Chain A
């Protein structure tokens, strides 16, 4: 349950404001690939795909976005601020004792944040449970999206979730893997093949191409969970 309610802003911003919003947290005007690898994916989800309303962050019919890769959440907070979920005034406090904006997000402290994350390998399994729950509640409309990193797939918990979701055809589940080639041992045969072998629908797109991302996120995938691999520049 969300217990705190940091003042929402009624003002919303566009894509071009995201670097300025991130600067309020990082102090840097320029952000390297590590800080921005998820930025376009997050922006496209919140701008074009997700049915979410900052005025009603707990509406039962909302889409659920579960940020699994909770490390480096500046892009996430910037997008939430741009879309009116959190007040821009909170951003400079990033990481402070009294700030609801930690270096890993906490759902209890922030409206619109569906899960607390940080430890890798939890978002996708939680998303499986959430998708099953929406199905059991006869809520066919809300979709569940989760964002994971390619290195995060090293965690075995993901593979319990990938195999199970594919086996039961969890159609309302969507996973986006932001692939910056950071997995230490890589993925033989590619990430998409790993999911496809377990019965997922898969798309691989340029992780900075907004139109391609939006099309991939909304592509039909009847009877199967859906994977989008968003390829970005390799982590230096």
Chain B
């Protein structure tokens, strides 16, 4: 299957041809794939070299000049390394930007901790005005990118090599009920949908699906939790466990509820291997998810 990253590059290349306001900023990652676009638009496909602070600052400067910048690299080098630039050169300057990462939490499992940043969403969550998309399929990634390119806000598009086998209908920004049940509610974010569907097969649970996690669709979660026999809610996020716990707690503040927040642990695994092995190590494979969810629901 075509990856989200490949679809991002193809879509951005097409959008550069049609939208003169758009610019792509790179830091030596994905530059070969963007070479045809760079040949056609040398002023709007900019590779700053291995300079990730400058990657973000240049995006900020382009936005100040009136362009719609898309900055792209692997997540540790897009969010964590230049975090003060994200905070000041984008957020505090109050400019719009599209940040597109590719690499998820442990897509690059064999590369070790240096190439993993499960904390990216939690970090951005400390800043004002970010829309955060976590698509679960290349079709969803494309739709979200097209939408982001056409607006003026600050958008983080988090791409992963982990994907669901089939796309859901066009992303709406809302949590979508994929399955309806009575015993509780599970929110699956992006690529976690397929493992969650496998894990909850045969259980009477409502499964909500999110491709947009900020803003958080508190209303949909509240509605689903209220409709069930008990306000028992499980979050399954493909990044740092608990990233959306406070949002879920706020959404359910008016009723007694129980919350289980599953995701990537901050523990230093010091393991290489494959994404599937890392998913299992973090308890995010279907078998572990089923065990943890059924234990929580009792």
Contacts and interface: CB of A to CB of B under 8 A. Distances in A.
Contact of B62 (A115, A136, A157, A161): A136
Contacts of B9: none
Interface in B24-83: 43-44, 46, 48-49, 51, 53-54, 57-67, 69
Given A116-B88, A137-B65, A129 B53 contact: no
Contacts of A126: 57, 60-61, 64, 89, 93
A116 B57 contact: no
A221 interface: no
Interface string B103-143: 00000000000000000000000000000000000000000
Q: Is the interface of A mostly helix, strand, loop or mixed?
A: helix
B65 A125 contact: no
B67 A161 contact: no
Pick from A136, A137, A163, A167 the residue with the most CB of B within 10 Å: A136
B17 to A, nearest CB: 14
A142 B101 CA distance: 33
Interface string B79-105: 000001100110011100000000000
Contacts of A128: 54, 57-58, 61
Nearest to B50: A160
Interface residues of B, number: 28
B88 A137 contact: no
Pick from A60, A114, A128, A135 the residue with the most CB of B within 10 Å: A128
Q: How large is the interface on A (under 10, 10 to 19, 20 to 34, 35 or more residues)?
A: 20 to 34
A164 B54 contact: yes
Given A107-B93, A116-B92, A119-B88, A132 B43 contact: yes
Contact of A164 (B23, B48, B65, B92): B48
A175 B270 CA distance: 45
Contacts of A133: 23, 61-67
Interface string A56-67: 000010001000
A64 B88 CA distance: 18
B58 A125 contact: yes
Pick from A64, A129, A157 the residue with the most CB of B within 10 Å: A129
Contacts of B94: 1, 107-108
Contacts of B85: 122, 125, 157
Contacts of A114: 64
Contact of A137 (B46, B58, B66, B92): B66
A130 B85 CA distance: 15
A65 to B, nearest CB: 12
Interface string A116-159: 10010010011111111111110000000000000000001100
Contact of A125 (B44, B54, B66, B69): B54
A160 B51 contact: yes
A115 B93 contact: yes
Contacts of A130: 61-62, 64-65
Contact of B57 (A1, A129, A135, A156): A129
B66 A129 contact: no
Pick from B59, B61, B65 the residue with the most CB of A within 10 Å: B61
A119 B69 CA distance: 23
Nearest to B23: A136
A167 B60 CA distance: 20
Given A108-B94, A130-B65, A134-B65, 8 more contacts: A122-B89, A126-B64, A129-B57, A129-B62, A130-B62, A132-B62, A133-B23, A136-B44
Interface of B: 23, 43-44, 46, 48-49, 51, 53-54, 57-67, 69, 84-85, 88-89, 92-94
15 contacts: A116-B88, A119-B88, A122-B85, A125-B53, A125-B89, A126-B64, A129-B63, A129-B64, A130-B64, A133-B65, A136-B62, A137-B66, A157-B85, A161-B57, A167-B49
